[in-house]
Structure 1
């Protein structure tokens, strides 16, 4: 059973189609914060900017997890990411992926609970 937090709304046990439509709408609006949780893990978090997205995947709450990265992108921010609480964040482009990659990431996550192999993932538990 999934729980989806999209902005200020929480939906318990949404179907995969509902989740994907919500994600597609956020990508189209070029803004949004979405969290997908499964009891006992895993958790996928997405924060969308205009053209890029921060995507996090953790096994359970408190796990440092992974985030999707773009090693070819510059180590400087080009987007602003507005969280559901109104806070505006900036992330280096290298620590985000292109927004069009979010739907395949979510589709794969819903089917497997794992990372989509179409992007690079950084283990946030490793020392830098």
Structure 2
């Protein structure tokens, strides 16, 4: 069975892999920089962005520290990551990926249920 994903605060309709990028871009355009997607298997996928870079985390279940996509060649840090609760954070660029890449990763996870092959060697398990 293929896992379905729902944007947590946008109702109960599943989001399709072919439309998830646009859904996230619309949310970002409205200033909603944090998005949680919940999978039918109980997994969660979070995207937190500053509109240029994004933190992408996949959690197996509640309480799982998860794993996140990284950009090991990136240097410096970026600010402007605003959580839904108003918390303002900065992250090392190595712990985030460019927004376009983040959207591709999310699309792949929603479609195939796994990290894209190009990223399986570039994940940090926060376990």
Question: Which range, TM-score by smaller chain?
Answer: 0.7 to 0.9
Tell me how far apart the structure 2 counterparts of residues 89 and 117 of structure 1 sit (CA, whole Å). Answer: 29
| 1:118, distance to aligned residue in structure 2 (A) | 3.0
Residue 33 of structure 1 corresponds to which residue in structure 2?
A: 34
Consecutive unaligned residues in structure 2, runs of 5 or more: none
| 1:107, distance to aligned residue in structure 2 (A) | 1.2
| 1:26, distance to aligned residue in structure 2 (A) | 4.2
TM superposition outliers: structure 1 runs of 4+ over 4 Å:
26-31
Tell me how far apart the structure 1 counterparts of residues 28 and 10 of structure 2 sit (CA, whole Å). Answer: 18
Contact 1:30 1:49 in 2 (8 A): no
Contact 2:20 2:107 in 1 (8 A): no
Residue 122 of structure 1 corresponds to which residue in structure 2?
A: 124
Taking structure 2 as the reference length, what is the TM-score of the superposition? 0.81
Taking structure 1 as the reference length, what is the TM-score of the superposition? 0.81
Residue 95 of structure 2 corresponds to which residue in structure 1?
A: 95
Contact 1:51 1:79 in 2 (8 A): no
Residue 52 of structure 1 corresponds to which residue in structure 2?
A: 53
Tell me how far apart the structure 2 counterparts of residues 66 and 40 of structure 1 sit (CA, whole Å). Answer: 17
Residue 62 of structure 1 corresponds to which residue in structure 2?
A: 63
Residue 86 of structure 2 corresponds to which residue in structure 1?
A: 86
Consecutive unaligned residues in structure 1, runs of 5 or more: none
Q: What is the RMSD of the two structures over their aligned residues, measured on CA atoms?
A: 2.1
Query: For 2:57, what is the secondary structure of its paired residue?
Result: strand
Query: For 1:41, what is the secondary structure of its paired residue?
Result: coil
CA deviation map 1:36-69 (0-9, x unaligned): 1113322110001131101101111111210110
Which protein has greater RCO, CA pairs closer than 8 Å, 6+ apart?
2
| 1:18, distance to aligned residue in structure 2 (A) | 4.7
